[in-house]
Amino acid sequence: MHNKTISQLAQGLRNREFSSVELTQAFLTRIKQHQDLNAYITVTEEQALQAAQAADARLAQGDAELLTGIPMAHKDIFCTLGVKTSCGSKMLDNFIAPYNATVVEKLNQAGAVMLGKLNMDEFAMGSSNETSFYGAVKNPWDTGKVPGGSSGGSAAAVAAQLAVCATGTDTGGSIRQPAALCGITGLKPTYGRVSRFGMIAYASSLDQGGPMTRSAEDAAILLQAMAGFDPKDSTSANQPVPDYLADINQPLAGLTIGLPKEFFAEGLNADMAAVLETAIAEYQKLGASVKEISMPNLNLAIPAYYVIAPAECSANLSRFDGVRFGYRCENPADLTDLYVRSRGEAFGKEVKRRILMGTYALSAGYYDAYYLKAQKVRRLISEDFKKALSEVDVIMSPVTPSTAFGIGEKMADPIEMYLADIYTIAINLAGLPAMSVPAGFINGLPAGLQIIGNYFQEAKLLNIAHCYQQATDWHTLIPKNFE
């Protein structure tokens, strides 16, 4: 049962081939068998079986949606009522959320069964899932490699079939990069398409929740339940949500694909370039045409991002002070000691680094030189995308500069780690939707293709990805020992 898609499982549940309780128990057993991956922080076994029983009752009444009874898991950045929501940090190791995030609430209403909370880089800061207080997650394709980050637990769980699907969040590539490194499908929607209410903030103008699944069709089903306007989120877009499955099989004849020469220039790994050329050739067979485009400000994305994101993180993480909730140091001498020791003892190295960078960029005398200038660069990058997407239907590019690297390989060099997101960060700065689809293997490790679309064109991206997946089988391959 564990190796089926959402639609296949939904059909099986409707046909009474198995119950949601049986399906859920099968996944709970797999999670116990593969604890060494470290994909889960919390497993909610009792709660999952209760939800499965409720789903079976809905199925018996004929009141079921596609996700009813489907076992899935949440990145541990989404608040879940009565369940620990840690954000991968010692700071929130004792935090039991008093409410559900909107995404969690929507999926509950759809009848999905939550298996637990998934491991992640601390406060979503990282590209390898090594900054978690709970230890590194391992890549199912090679347990000596990283799964990517910050949604590494989500990617590893889906790839290893420890959940049918999972939620993730993407601030600078944190859905797409781990999806590529673990050989699954990951979609970062348009900024504002999915509610951020109850999603613990890292960088508020960049963070976006999205689906992580085996296939584009599954991503469409999960996004359908997640998307929509939320009055509780001031950054939520009041846009109608289309039926993402309605046009998923549309032919691609006449599609124009833009290839940014800046992304395919010197510096792109030769093996990765070969994988992308093969994938793009497949799209040409499906009727698409290719056009080279130029986006001259793309090279400014990483410096701009690493001013803007840390600045917003500095502001957002100021709420974790040892006073209201979360970790509190023992026997503080005074209020200042409480602040300093609580934050010093509970935040990890990478989080401290980004808070310091952001505080510096926002400080008097440096705001104009760094933060304001970075926001101007952000506008230039957005204009580059606007111009490019007026000439082509979608843009395709690498997701990552290489396949998964070794655990511990880049931890000593933060700059090299930051460059792991070189192809994804610009999309967040512009607020556009983009997705990663499995496109091949290099030395036994998965490689992904990135598809970037215009605002609120997730349906088009899903159609383009689905047609490719109908013609290829990369997304169906399972890591050895996890079949």
Distances (CA, A) of 375 to 305, 309, 332, 379, 419: 9, 11, 39, 6, 20
Active-site choice (20, 75, 106, 410): 75
| Residue 106 and residue 225 in contact, taking contact as beta carbons nearer than 8 Å | yes
Q: Active site includes 150?
A: yes
- CB–CB of 47/72 below 8 Å? no
Q: How far is 118 from 181, CA to CA, in rounded Å? A: 17
The catalytic position among 150, 151, 154, 342 is 150
CA distance 174 to 310: 15
Query: Is there a contact between 447 and 436 (Cβ–Cβ < 8 Å)?
Result: no
Two structure tokens written together for 276:
């992308």
State the Cα torsion 350-405-385-273 to the nearest 10°.
Answer: 160
Between the CA of residue 423 and those of 199, 269, 298, 300, 418, what are the distances in Å? 24, 13, 9, 12, 11
Pick the catalytic residue: 174, 215, 342, 397?
Answer: 174
Q: Residue 153: which of 85, 163, 89, 144 has the closest Cα?
A: 163
Report the half-sphere exposure of 245 (CA within 13 A, side-chain side). 12
Q: Are 86 and 93 in contact (CB under 8 A)?
A: yes
Active site residue 205: no
Active site residue 19: no
Nearest residue to 224 (alpha-carbon basis) of 237, 206, 211: 211
- Start-to-end Cα distance in the chain: 11
Q: What are phi and psi of 367, to 5 degrees?
A: -55, -50
| 465 three-state secondary structure | helix
Q: Which of 150, 136, 175, 160 is nearest to 406 (CA)?
A: 136
What DSSP element (H or E) covers 262?
none
Active site residues: 75, 150, 174
